[in-house]
Homo-oligomer: A and B are copies of this chain.
Amino acid sequence: MVVEIADFKVAPEEQALFCEQLQRGVREVLSQAQGYLGHRVLACSETPSRVVLMVDWRSLEDHTVGFRQSPAFAQWRAIISPFFAAAPQVEHFVASAN
């Protein structure tokens, strides 16, 4: 299992709307991707221009190849990218055993 953390920068006054769009994008597109296991949309309290999306994937390739190289990726970006104030920063993580 791999965790994607995507850090988004948006206009502060659009933080709530962007969270709604992310949820819509997950519902309509991302959650249909092979290997999608779950997600969280997080609105930053201290920095209203910041939104974090965490996605649990079965494997790194499910995200980087299966999803990003599928037609669904364009649909996903069409829903969320109009809000971008900067390019999102995306990295992958391995959860250490609790």
Contacts and interface: CB of A to CB of B under 8 A. Distances in A.
Contact of A91 (B20, B44, B95): B44
B96 A45 contact: no
Given A23-B98, A98-B23, A93 B43 contact: yes
Interface residues of A, number: 29
Contact of A44 (B50, B60, B93): B93
Contacts of A41: 95-96, 98
Which 4 pairs show the lowest CB-CB distances between chains A and B?
A: A42-B93, A19-B96, A41-B96, A45-B92
Interface of A: 2-3, 5, 19-20, 22-23, 26, 39-47, 50, 52, 54, 60, 91-98
